[in-house]
A and B are shown apart, each in its own frame.
Chain A
């Protein structure tokens, strides 16, 4: 069969338009996805804008900057100023998650998945303090041998022993809050839950077996209530798209040491 020049040109032109039309929606969707720079959750990368760490006798609020590389936050941890030891927020014992009790002077480090990081020096952690740490204007540090080691550590959202977490909601919000609820003197299993405090359209989510939760909020900020059997309701007002590490207060053993089991 003889193919004329005209036919070849028609075929090429047709395929050109097919390819262009095929690519247009993709291009459009990418533009929309990145339009709100401060609340992007693309793929499984996590881009919190605020991070709350709450202990019964101390709280820390980290304001986090927009990450231009969009690699996502891997971890938030502390480096002891004297020993140089790295302290994650939590520790795993017997496949159960506990919180680390931190007191002293540390450098707070926010590690991104690409190995770059932010370092806020000389954070003094002491009881009865409400500490605000503004990382927005910190210079991003390049990937280095230290940060490569830090990336090998368990990240903030990592589970325990590859055990699958069962979470209540399929997340579709860009305002998801991720975090943990733990108990001062030990792990909490899946007993705790967190819920949005409001009169209508209350939303609640349970913790997974290791205290991990994810909850969607549909407002720029919300007051969350945290509860576990044997503890009291506690609440915290948080911004959208943030991370939380919340340790519930426990009865003071000194106050209850004379209580005797009954009957």
Chain B
């Protein structure tokens, strides 16, 4: 990939129209595959909107790209905001989000399958773990979870909660 230099950005600015910052801000928030960033935004501020999640994604990738926010925005708009497991893990580790976000395989989660959310896909989908569910004997029967991307609260059973069902902690 060709490295962008200050000179080439200046050349771009002279030939292309400049978008005012206020207008640019209103355009941010359209990144796909942002389930991880929805969780991050929800856990930090409670906001679950696309734009709220996008600001965290843009901050992260801008930092990863040495401060080049335009390049980061271009990359996110083109390829989406999906995170590799190792990147998500590293982010959660350094931002105090351990034991809060899990990846699930929606094709193996009964709630998604029985409530018409098959479009959520079969890749790792990030959701937030709220608490354990216990019966009157105090035995754990499952876990309460929240999907900020779809604004859904539901439960997953023990058989759906195991690593062998595709469920695992981000960190």
Contact = CB atoms under 8 A, between A and B. Distances in A.
Interface stretch (B1-9, B15-23, B160-168): B160-168
B43 to A, nearest CB: 14
A263 B168 contact: no
B122 A262 contact: yes
A51 B82 CA distance: 44
A90 to B, nearest CB: 16
A261 B99 contact: no
Given A204-B139, A262-B33, A263-B35, A256 B168 contact: yes
Contacts of A257: 84-86
A262 B102 contact: no
Interface string A14-54: 00000000000000000000000000000000000000000
A118 to B, nearest CB: 36
Nearest to A94: B96
Interface string A213-253: 00000000000000101111100000000000000001101
Given A186-B99, A259-B123, A253 B36 contact: no
B33 A260 contact: yes
B82 to A, nearest CB: 4
A234 to B, nearest CB: 11
B61 interface: no
A185 B167 CA distance: 16
A126 to B, nearest CB: 25
Contacts, number: 114
A188 interface: yes
Give the interface SS of chain A, mostly helix, strand, loop or mixed. loop
Interface of B: 32-36, 82-86, 88-89, 98-99, 102-103, 106, 119-126, 129, 132, 134, 137-140, 143, 149, 158, 161-164, 167-169, 171
B169 A263 contact: no
Contacts of B143: 191, 229
A191 B36 contact: no
Contact of B125 (A188, A231, A251, A262): A262
A188 B99 contact: yes
B61 to A, nearest CB: 14
A191 B132 contact: yes
Contacts of A190: 132
Given A186-B99, A259-B124, A262-B122, A232 B84 contact: no
Given A230-B162, A256-B168, A259-B123, 10 more contacts: A168-B138, A191-B132, A193-B132, A195-B139, A227-B140, A227-B162, A229-B169, A253-B85, A259-B103, A260-B33
25 contacts: A168-B138, A185-B169, A186-B99, A190-B132, A191-B143, A193-B132, A229-B162, A229-B167, A230-B167, A230-B169, A256-B168, A257-B86, A259-B103, A260-B84, A260-B85, A260-B123, A261-B36, A261-B123, A261-B126, A262-B121, A262-B123, A263-B32, A263-B35, A263-B119, A263-B125
A191 B162 contact: no
Interface string A157-198: 000000000001000000000000001011111110101000
A239 B121 CA distance: 46
B169 A204 contact: no
A258 interface: yes
Contacts of B171: 185-186
A195 B137 CA distance: 13
Nearest to B161: A229
Contacts of A188: 99
Interface in A138-152: none
Given A204-B138, A233-B162, A251-B168, A260 B83 contact: yes
Contact of B163 (A168, A189, A231, A260): A231
A24 B78 CA distance: 86
A262 B85 contact: no
- Sorted from nearest, which 6 A-B pairs have the closest CB atoms? A262-B123, A257-B86, A230-B169, A261-B36, A229-B161, A259-B85
Contact of B35 (A227, A231, A262): A262
